[in-house]
Chains A and B, each alone.
Chain A
C-alpha cells in the first residue's frame, strides 16, 4: 500500500500533455506551428504558458496582440481554475494530447477574469488559501503565519518546488487531535450541465456523534444527483485529479491528501461516458 505521502507527490507532479494551436483568425505574418507542453495539473494556465505566448508572438505583429486567452472547443478556459480541474471538467474522456486554442483578440469580458500579470495569479491563489483556512481553522493558522511563509507557498507553486511548498502547507493540514478533523472541509463541486459554476457549502468532516463523513456522504447532502441509485446505470463520474475516488473514502483524508495547493478539494461531476 502506497504511503500517504506518496499521494501528495503524485498529486503535485501530475501532468497533462497539451497541444496549443493558434486560433485560425488571428493575424499572422507566417504560419504558426502548434506548440506542445506538459501542463502541471495543480498550476494555472497563465502561470505556465509564457513559452506558449512567446512561441506565437514570434509570428505576430505587436499591434495584433492583446491579452492572451485560451479556449477548448468553443469554451473559454478560466485561468483561475487549476489546470487539472479544467481538463477533468471539459476533456476528461477525450484522447490526449489536450487541444487548446490560443487567442490574442476579442477577450471574452463577461466570462473570463483579466490576468495582466503574475501578481494577479498570486493574489487569487492566496485568496483561495485564506478562504480554505477560514473554513478549516477560522483563519487562525493562516493569520498566525508570517508574510514570508505566505510568500513561500506561492513561490513553491510558481517554481514547482514540492518540498518548499509543503514545508509551510503541512501546517494548514493540521488540526487539534480532539477535533478529529478540520472545522469544515474546503471543497467545490463543479458541474458541467448547469449555469451555476460550482456548489460550495458548509460541511463537517466528522458528524456530531463522531461518525466519519465520506465523499459519498458529502455528495448525498450537497449534490445527490451525482450518485446513482442501486438499480440504475451510473450517469455521472465524480472526478478528483483525474481519478474517481471510492465514495467510501473519508472526506477528511481527501481534504488532506487530494486538495489542490490552494487547499481546496476541486471535485468534477461529469457525464459518464456511454460506451
Chain B
C-alpha cells in the first residue's frame, strides 16, 4: 500500500521529468516557485474555444466540452469549436462537429463563442500525499468563469461520475499557495484509481511516473490535453540516484 503514496521529493522528481518532456513538445508547462520557500508547483496557461451558455434554456440538450489548446502547441489539432464565421447563424443553429476521436458535438440555441484562458496548476497535497489539480478559467476580458460554466465544459461522460458524491467533484477552493479562488478536482479519491495502476506496474516490474499517470486520468476531465507521448516518453524517477528536493532543472519561468 505504501507504493501508492507519493512523497514530496518523488513528486518534485516526477515533475522535473514531466517538465523536460513538456519543453521538448513546447507544451507550455513551467515550474513556479513559492516566494521565500522551496515549494513549487507546475503551471500551464492554455487558450481554448468554448460556447458559453448565454440564454437560460433548460430544454436544450447540449453536448459540449472544452478542448484546450496550448498557446505554444503546434500539433495540427484544431478545436472542434472554432466557429464557422461565414455562415454563423445564432438562431436555432444546429452545428455538428467531428473531431479526430470521433466525438460528435451538437449545439443548439444561441451562445456566445469566446476564447477562454485556462490556467492549470499541479500542486502537492500533504494531506492526501498525491498531486492535486487546481484550475481557473476566464475570458480574455478578465471575467472569471463560474462553476456552472466550468461544468458546462466537462465532457458529459465525466459529468455524471463527478456528480456522484460531494467529494468526487469539482469545487471552488482557495489556492493554498496563492490564496486566490480556483477550481479543484478533489484529491481524496486519487489513491483509489492510482492503486490498480501502480500495483499492475509493480507486478510487471515497470516503473511509473506518478504525475504523468495521474494527469492522464484527471486532465481530460477538465479539458486539459495530455498528449500520448507523455505516457510513452517520460520516465519514472530513478530511486537509486540521489536528487535534491529542488532540482536545478526546475527553473522559474517568467509569466
Contacts and interface: CB of A to CB of B under 8 A. Distances in A.
A106 interface: no
B176 A198 contact: yes
Interface string A27-69: 0000000000000000000000000000000000000000000
A127 B167 contact: yes
A264 B245 CA distance: 28
Contacts of B172: 113-114
Interface residues of A, number: 27
A201 B39 CA distance: 11
A197 B179 contact: yes
Contact of A113 (B34, B181, B186): B181
A134 B174 contact: no
Interface in B143-183: 143-144, 146-147, 166-167, 171-174, 176-181
Interface in B21-38: 34-37
A78 interface: yes
Contacts of A135: 126-127
Interface residues of B, number: 25
B179 A134 contact: no
Interface string A184-216: 001000000011111011100000000000000
B201 interface: no
Given A127-B186, A134-B188, A110 B144 contact: yes
Contact of B146 (A114, A194, A202): A114
A260 interface: no
B173 A113 contact: yes
B159 to A, nearest CB: 17
Nearest to B143: A109
Interface in B193-245: none
A197 B127 contact: no
A109 to B, nearest CB: 4
B133 to A, nearest CB: 16
Contact of B188 (A112, A124, A139, A200): A139
B41 interface: no
A196 B181 contact: no
A111 B181 contact: yes
A130 B188 contact: yes
A194 B36 contact: yes
Given A78-B174, A195-B35, A109 B128 contact: no
B82 to A, nearest CB: 27
Contacts of B177: 196-197
B53 to A, nearest CB: 17
A186 B167 CA distance: 19
A80 interface: yes
Given A78-B174, A110-B180, A130-B188, A200 B144 contact: no
Given A126-B166, A195-B179, A113 B174 contact: yes
Interface of A: 78, 80, 109-114, 123-124, 126-127, 130-132, 134-135, 139, 186, 194-198, 200-202
Given A123-B166, A131-B188, 6 more contacts: A113-B181, A127-B171, A131-B128, A132-B127, A194-B36, A195-B35
List the 5 closest pairs (A to B, CB-CB), nearest first.
A197-B179, A109-B144, A131-B127, A113-B172, A134-B127
